[in-house]
Amino acid sequence: MFWKSRIKQVVVGLGNPGISYDGTRHNLGFCIVDEMAKRQGVKIDRKKFDGAYVKVALNGVDIALLKPLTYVNNSGIVVRAFTRYFKVKPKDVIVVQDDITLEPGLFKIKVGGSDGGHNGIKSVGDFLDEDNFIRVKCGVGTKKNKNMELADWVLTRFDAGEKGKIEAMIPRVLECLECIVKDGVSQAMNKYN
C-alpha cells in the first residue's frame, strides 16, 4: 500500500510475451524497459493485472516499469487496470513502442494524437479513454518486401546492421526516459526530438 500512493509515472514497454517473440521488432518496447530495469539493478518480475512490473526510484521519482502480457494489441487492458489501481493519470504514462516510420537507430517523443496504425497504441488510448499519454517511438524500419504483411514484418528480427543501430540507440532512449521523468516531456522533446 505504501507504494500505491507513491508511484508518479508508469513506463510501459509494448511487446508480446514468450521466448518466440524475443528480439523481434514488435518487442523493442519490452527490450528497452528490461534494459531500464537492468540499469536500476532490478528485474521486471512482479505480476499484476496480466502484466509484469517493478517499482524503482528514478532521479528521486518513484515510477513503475510495466510490460503488458496480453500481447501488443490488448496492451490497454493492462495499462488501464494498472494505472487505475496506482492512481496514475494518463498524462503520466510513458509508452515505449516500435515504429515502422522511423529507421532503426532513430527515436522520437510524441504526446497525444493519432495511433499511427499501431494497434498497441490504439488499445492504450481506447482503454485510457484519452490519448494525451507520452509515446517514445523507436524506429524498426519499413518492410523491405512490399508484398509482406505488416503483421509479419514486425515479427521479424533485426539483421546484423540494424542490430548495431538498435544497440547504439537504446542507451540514448534510456537517457531520454530519465529526462522525461526528471525534467518533464517538454524539455525531453527539446533535447531529443
Q: Are 23 and 158 in contact (CB under 8 A)?
A: yes
Rounded to 5 degrees, φ, ψ at 83 are -70, -35
From 26, 55, 67, 135, active-site residue: 26
Question: Quick check: is 26 catalytic?
Answer: yes
Q: Which residues contact 107 (CB under 8 A, 6 or more apart)?
A: 99, 136, 137, 138, 139, 169, 172, 173, 176, 192
Q: Are 35 and 27 in contact (CB under 8 A)?
A: no
Task: Write out the catalytic residue numbers.
Answer: 26
